[in-house]
Amino acid sequence: MSCRELVALVTEYLDGSMPRPERIRFERHVAVCPPCRAHLEQMRTTIRAAGALTEESISPAARDALLDAFSGWSDG
Amino acid sequence: MERHAAVGERSTVDETALLAALRRGDRDAFATLVDANTPWMMRIALSHVSSRASAEDAVQEAWLRCLRGLEGFEERSALKSWLFVIVTNCARRRAERDARSVPFSELARREAERIEPDPLEHRFFDDSHPRWPGGWTTFSPGWEGLPEQRLLASEVSVRIESATARLPAGQRAVFLLRDVEGWRSEDVCSALGISGSNQRVLLHRARHTIRAVLEDYLEGGEEQ
């Protein structure tokens, strides 16, 4: 597995959807290749940073309006 | 990630109970449903329209449609997938540039199946290189040495948000749901109506773009 091939497979690896023999080859490569290790770590960091974005929300007034709409719906 | 309640391709036992409570008119059950799903619905809506007000309107409309469709909702599909389709339609209709009638699943599928150049092509030696076939030509120093505050600084969030907004629609939806909102791949496939491999292609491309944006920022000499 070349570095180029490894980089193309990173998402599959992180998803855990890689067949075992390929996974072993992937991990063996990473163990001896610092730039690929750095790349894998950067991908993990990217995912972590994306997961740390502030949660979105709607205004309390909009939420209240929705709950009232629900009450109207269930009464009707 | 407790807020990312796992929902499979079919309704779970909890979801069936929730639906029954909604159909009985249980307001608290509806409040729970709204609070659990509005954050990601708002993010999806924001990814299609140009203002917060417009996104909020789309989310409101999506919930009202959800209520109207609740009686007929078939539990063969997960509630989240159904909500995704509704909010995507409501938001796209508000965004004039997206007024075309191609279903979102079709749009995402076409995007995944389009051949695109390898974004890191220039970083590798040719596969026929005598010494390092397909190996790295330049090494990134890695980010292990960077302080955690730098990685999670608000500037990083700002860069991710703006880069995400520039992604093609399919990549954007997959990246927002998978990496920002923490959905499982099965749930994303079911919501977008795309195959696992297409979903992975879109996610892979999106992550490469976002990684490159972070690389520019983190390694771009803006340390002080």
Residues of A in contact with B204 (CB under 8 A): 8, 10-11
Nearest residue to A56 via CA among B193, B58, B163: B58
Q: Do A50 and B160 touch (CB under 8 A)?
A: yes
Measure A16 CA to nearest chain B CA, in Å: 11
- What token pair was written down for B9? 């391709």
What distance in Å separates the CA atoms of residue B99 and residue B95, rounded to the nearest whole number? 7
What does pTM read for this prediction?
0.88
Mean of pLDDT over chain B: 87
Q: By CA distance, what is A9's nearest residue in B?
A: B204
8-state DSSP, A56? P
What distance in Å separates the CA atoms of residue B192 and residue B53, rounded to the nearest whole number? 25
Q: Which of B56, B160, B196 faces A49 most closely, judged by CB atoms? A: B160
Of the listed ranges A46-60, B50-64, B83-97, the least confidently predicted one is B83-97
Q: Do A57 and B39 touch (CB under 8 A)?
A: yes
Which residues in chain A show pLDDT less than 50? none
Burial class (CB in 10 A: 0-12, 13-18, 19+), B14: exposed
Q: Which of A2, A46, A57 faces B210 most closely, judged by CB atoms? A: A46
Q: Which residue has the higher pLDDT, A28 or B78?
A: A28
Q: Which residue has the higher pLDDT, B220 or B95?
A: B95
Top residue of A1, A53, A63, A71 to mutate, by most chain B CBs within 10 Å, is A53
Return the pLDDT at B156: 93
Region for B7 from its dihedrals, namely left if φ exceeds 0, alpha if ψ lies in -120 to 50, beta otherwise: beta
Return the pLDDT at B46: 95
Rounded to the nearest 5 degrees, what angle is found at the Cα of B155, between the Cα atoms of B149 and B158? 135
B191 to each of B28, B49, B72, B77, how far by Cα in Å?
25, 19, 18, 9
What distance in Å separates the CA atoms of residue B101 and residue B79, rounded to the nearest whole number? 23
What distance in Å separates the CA atoms of residue B194 and residue B69, rounded to the nearest whole number? 23
Question: Contact at 8 Å (CB) between B157 and A53?
Answer: yes
Residues of B in contact with A65 (CB under 8 A): 60
Question: Each residue of B175-224: pLDDT tens digit?
Answer: 999 999 999 999 999 999 999 999 999 999 999 999 999 999 988 754 43
